[in-house]
Protein backbone atom coordinates (compact mmCIF):
# COMPACT_ATOMS: atom_id res chain seq x y z
CA UNK A 1 0.00 0.00 0.00
CA UNK A 2 1.16 3.55 -0.75
CA UNK A 3 -0.03 7.03 0.15
CA UNK A 4 -2.00 8.60 -2.67
CA UNK A 5 0.04 11.83 -2.82
CA UNK A 6 3.29 9.88 -3.00
CA UNK A 7 1.95 7.73 -5.82
CA UNK A 8 0.91 10.84 -7.79
CA UNK A 9 4.39 12.29 -7.34
CA UNK A 10 5.97 8.99 -8.38
CA UNK A 11 3.95 9.09 -11.61
CA UNK A 12 5.61 12.40 -12.47
CA UNK A 13 2.41 14.45 -12.47
CA UNK A 14 3.45 16.89 -9.75
CA UNK A 15 5.60 17.26 -6.65
CA UNK A 16 4.21 15.65 -3.53
CA UNK A 17 3.22 19.03 -2.12
CA UNK A 18 1.33 19.93 -5.29
CA UNK A 19 -0.26 16.49 -5.29
CA UNK A 20 -1.62 17.16 -1.82
CA UNK A 21 -3.18 20.39 -3.08
CA UNK A 22 -4.77 18.55 -5.99
CA UNK A 23 -6.30 16.03 -3.59
CA UNK A 24 -7.70 18.74 -1.32
CA UNK A 25 -9.19 20.50 -4.34
CA UNK A 26 -11.04 17.34 -5.36
CA UNK A 27 -9.15 16.80 -8.60
CA UNK A 28 -8.19 13.19 -7.90
CA UNK A 29 -10.35 10.10 -8.34
CA UNK A 30 -9.58 6.59 -7.10
CA UNK A 31 -11.72 3.88 -8.60
CA UNK A 32 -14.16 6.53 -9.92
CA UNK A 33 -14.55 8.14 -6.47
CA UNK A 34 -13.31 11.65 -5.72
CA UNK A 35 -10.78 11.60 -2.90
CA UNK A 36 -10.21 14.64 -0.68
CA UNK A 37 -8.91 12.85 2.41
CA UNK A 38 -5.19 13.30 2.97
CA UNK A 39 -3.27 10.13 3.79
CA UNK A 40 -5.47 7.85 1.70
CA UNK A 41 -3.71 4.56 0.95
CA UNK A 42 -3.92 2.84 -2.43
CA UNK A 43 -2.64 -0.33 -4.05
CA UNK A 44 -0.80 0.82 -7.20
CA UNK A 45 -1.26 -2.60 -8.78
CA UNK A 46 -5.04 -2.70 -8.31
CA UNK A 47 -6.46 0.80 -7.80
CA UNK A 48 -7.29 3.14 -10.69
CA UNK A 49 -6.12 6.72 -10.07
CA UNK A 50 -7.38 9.41 -12.45
CA UNK A 51 -6.57 13.13 -12.71
CA UNK A 52 -8.24 15.35 -15.33
CA UNK A 53 -9.69 12.27 -17.01
CA UNK A 54 -6.30 10.60 -17.45
CA UNK A 55 -5.30 7.45 -15.62
CA UNK A 56 -1.93 7.60 -13.92
CA UNK A 57 0.73 5.01 -14.50
CA UNK A 58 4.16 4.62 -12.99
CA UNK A 59 7.05 5.29 -15.30
CA UNK A 60 9.91 2.87 -15.45
CA UNK A 61 12.56 5.48 -16.17
CA UNK A 62 12.73 8.96 -14.69
CA UNK A 63 14.24 12.05 -16.25
CA UNK A 64 16.77 14.15 -14.32
CA UNK A 65 18.19 17.27 -15.96
CA UNK A 66 20.78 19.77 -14.79
CA UNK A 67 20.00 23.13 -16.37
CA UNK A 68 22.11 26.29 -16.47
CA UNK A 69 19.25 28.73 -16.01
CA UNK A 70 19.85 32.13 -17.60
CA UNK A 71 18.59 35.37 -16.12
CA UNK A 72 15.18 36.36 -17.47
CA UNK A 73 13.37 33.05 -16.94
CA UNK A 74 11.10 32.05 -14.09
CA UNK A 75 11.41 28.71 -12.30
CA UNK A 76 7.82 27.56 -12.67
CA UNK A 77 5.94 25.37 -15.13
CA UNK A 78 3.73 28.22 -16.37
CA UNK A 79 3.23 31.91 -15.73
CA UNK A 80 -0.03 33.93 -15.83
CA UNK A 81 1.99 36.92 -17.04
CA UNK A 82 3.28 34.91 -20.01
CA UNK A 83 6.93 35.33 -19.08
CA UNK A 84 9.45 32.78 -20.27
CA UNK A 85 9.81 29.75 -18.00
CA UNK A 86 12.64 27.26 -17.59
CA UNK A 87 10.53 24.68 -19.43
CA UNK A 88 10.93 26.78 -22.57
CA UNK A 89 14.59 25.77 -22.47
CA UNK A 90 13.87 22.02 -22.56
CA UNK A 91 11.08 21.83 -25.15
CA UNK A 92 12.75 18.87 -26.83
CA UNK A 93 12.12 16.74 -23.73
CA UNK A 94 8.78 14.96 -23.99
CA UNK A 95 8.27 14.19 -20.30
CA UNK A 96 6.39 16.60 -18.07
CA UNK A 97 9.09 18.14 -15.87
CA UNK A 98 9.09 20.52 -12.95
CA UNK A 99 11.91 22.38 -11.19
CA UNK A 100 13.48 21.36 -7.89
CA UNK A 101 13.13 24.53 -5.84
CA UNK A 102 13.43 27.91 -7.52
CA UNK A 103 15.84 30.53 -8.74
CA UNK A 104 14.69 34.15 -8.98
CA UNK A 105 13.83 35.68 -12.35
CA UNK A 106 17.05 37.75 -12.28
CA UNK A 107 19.22 34.92 -10.91
CA UNK A 108 21.07 32.46 -13.09
CA UNK A 109 22.72 29.16 -12.37
CA UNK A 110 22.18 25.51 -11.53
CA UNK A 111 18.60 24.24 -11.48
CA UNK A 112 17.44 20.63 -11.48
CA UNK A 113 14.40 19.56 -13.52
CA UNK A 114 12.76 16.17 -13.13
CA UNK A 115 9.55 14.15 -13.39
CA UNK A 116 10.42 12.37 -10.12
CA UNK A 117 8.11 14.27 -7.77
CA UNK A 118 9.12 12.34 -4.69
CA UNK A 119 12.84 13.10 -5.05
CA UNK A 120 12.12 16.72 -6.04
CA UNK A 121 10.12 17.24 -2.87
CA UNK A 122 12.87 15.78 -0.70
CA UNK A 123 15.70 17.74 -2.34
CA UNK A 124 13.81 20.99 -1.76
CA UNK A 125 13.11 20.18 1.90
CA UNK A 126 15.28 22.15 4.37
CA UNK A 127 15.79 19.16 6.69
CA UNK A 128 18.44 17.68 4.38
CA UNK A 129 20.62 20.81 4.43
CA UNK A 130 22.04 20.35 0.94
CA UNK A 131 24.78 23.00 0.46
CA UNK A 132 24.27 25.49 -2.37
CA UNK A 133 27.05 27.85 -3.44
CA UNK A 134 26.34 31.20 -5.10
CA UNK A 135 28.63 33.65 -6.87
CA UNK A 136 27.65 37.16 -5.85
CA UNK A 137 28.49 40.68 -7.00
CA UNK A 138 27.27 43.62 -4.95
CA UNK A 139 27.46 47.38 -4.83
CA UNK A 140 29.63 48.59 -1.98
CA UNK A 141 32.39 47.04 0.08
CA UNK A 142 32.12 43.62 1.69
CA UNK A 143 34.24 44.42 4.71
CA UNK A 144 35.54 41.73 7.04
CA UNK A 145 32.89 42.75 9.55
CA UNK A 146 30.04 42.33 7.05
CA UNK A 147 31.46 39.04 5.80
CA UNK A 148 31.47 37.81 9.41
CA UNK A 149 27.80 38.73 9.78
CA UNK A 150 26.93 36.79 6.60
CA UNK A 151 28.77 33.80 8.01
CA UNK A 152 27.33 33.95 11.52
CA UNK A 153 23.74 34.78 10.55
CA UNK A 154 21.75 37.77 9.32
CA UNK A 155 18.57 38.88 11.05
CA UNK A 156 15.78 38.88 8.43
CA UNK A 157 12.05 39.38 8.83
CA UNK A 158 11.57 35.60 8.86
CA UNK A 159 14.30 34.97 11.44
CA UNK A 160 18.05 34.58 11.77
CA UNK A 161 19.76 32.81 8.89
CA UNK A 162 21.84 29.73 9.57
CA UNK A 163 25.66 29.88 9.45
CA UNK A 164 27.12 30.25 5.96
CA UNK A 165 30.55 30.02 4.36
CA UNK A 166 31.87 33.17 2.66
CA UNK A 167 34.95 33.49 0.47
CA UNK A 168 35.83 36.97 -0.79
CA UNK A 169 37.32 37.33 -4.28
CA UNK A 170 37.74 41.10 -4.16
CA UNK A 171 36.17 44.12 -2.48
CA UNK A 172 36.35 47.86 -2.85
CA UNK A 173 34.32 50.99 -2.33
CA UNK A 174 32.44 50.60 -5.62
CA UNK A 175 31.74 46.89 -5.49
CA UNK A 176 32.65 43.42 -4.26
CA UNK A 177 32.61 39.85 -5.53
CA UNK A 178 32.44 36.76 -3.34
CA UNK A 179 30.95 33.29 -2.99
CA UNK A 180 28.55 32.20 -0.28
CA UNK A 181 27.45 28.68 0.61
CA UNK A 182 24.15 28.20 2.42
CA UNK A 183 22.09 25.16 3.43
CA UNK A 184 18.71 26.89 3.58
CA UNK A 185 16.33 27.74 0.77
CA UNK A 186 14.36 30.79 1.85
CA UNK A 187 12.78 33.02 -0.76
CA UNK A 188 15.40 35.37 -2.27
CA UNK A 189 17.61 34.54 0.70
CA UNK A 190 21.04 35.59 -0.59
CA UNK A 191 19.70 38.85 -1.99
CA UNK A 192 17.94 39.67 1.27
CA UNK A 193 21.01 38.83 3.36
CA UNK A 194 23.15 41.19 1.30
CA UNK A 195 20.57 43.95 1.17
CA UNK A 196 20.20 43.79 4.97
CA UNK A 197 23.88 44.78 5.15
CA UNK A 198 23.51 47.62 2.65
CA UNK A 199 24.97 45.63 -0.25
CA UNK A 200 22.54 45.59 -3.21
CA UNK A 201 23.10 42.55 -5.44
CA UNK A 202 24.02 43.25 -9.07
CA UNK A 203 24.78 39.65 -10.12
CA UNK A 204 23.80 36.30 -8.62
CA UNK A 205 24.55 32.80 -9.89
CA UNK A 206 24.04 29.45 -8.19
CA UNK A 207 27.28 27.71 -9.08
CA UNK A 208 26.76 24.39 -7.34
CA UNK A 209 24.32 22.25 -5.41
CA UNK A 210 25.87 19.52 -3.34
CA UNK A 211 28.36 17.72 -5.61
CA UNK A 212 26.77 19.06 -8.82
CA UNK A 213 28.11 22.12 -10.65
CA UNK A 214 27.85 23.93 -13.99
CA UNK A 215 31.02 22.70 -15.63
CA UNK A 216 30.63 22.21 -19.37
CA UNK A 217 27.40 24.19 -19.63
CA UNK A 218 26.63 27.67 -20.93
CA UNK A 219 23.51 29.64 -19.91
CA UNK A 220 20.45 27.97 -21.44
CA UNK A 221 22.12 24.58 -21.87
CA UNK A 222 21.36 21.40 -19.94
CA UNK A 223 22.49 17.82 -19.57
CA UNK A 224 20.98 14.62 -18.23
CA UNK A 225 22.31 13.40 -14.92
CA UNK A 226 24.30 10.20 -14.91
CA UNK A 227 22.92 7.19 -13.06
CA UNK A 228 25.57 7.48 -10.35
CA UNK A 229 24.71 11.15 -9.86
CA UNK A 230 21.04 10.30 -9.36
CA UNK A 231 22.03 7.62 -6.85
CA UNK A 232 24.12 10.13 -4.91
CA UNK A 233 21.22 12.59 -4.84
CA UNK A 234 18.95 9.89 -3.46
CA UNK A 235 21.50 9.09 -0.76
CA UNK A 236 21.33 12.75 0.31
CA UNK A 237 17.67 12.23 1.19
CA UNK A 238 17.79 8.71 2.59
CA UNK A 239 18.50 9.76 6.17
Q: Which residues are catalytic?
A: 104
Query: Phi and psi of 187, rounded to 5°?
Result: -60, 125
Short-list 91, 99, 194, CA closest to 146: 194
Short-list 164, 215, 221, 219, CA closest to 194: 164
Query: Within 10 Å of residue 147's Cβ, how many Cβ atoms?
Result: 19
CA distance 17 to 6: 9
Query: Within 10 Å of residue 160's Cβ, how many Cβ atoms?
Result: 10
Query: Phi and psi of 41, rounded to 5°?
Result: -100, 140
Handedness of CA 142, 144, 148, 154 (dihedral sign): negative
Amino acid sequence: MERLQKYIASCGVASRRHAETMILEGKVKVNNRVITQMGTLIDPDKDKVVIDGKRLQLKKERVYLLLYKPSGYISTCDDPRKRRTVLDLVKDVEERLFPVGRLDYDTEGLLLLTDDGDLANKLAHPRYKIPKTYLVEVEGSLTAEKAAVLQDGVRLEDGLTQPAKVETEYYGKEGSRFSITITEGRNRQVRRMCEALGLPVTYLCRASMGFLDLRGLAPGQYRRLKAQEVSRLKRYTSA
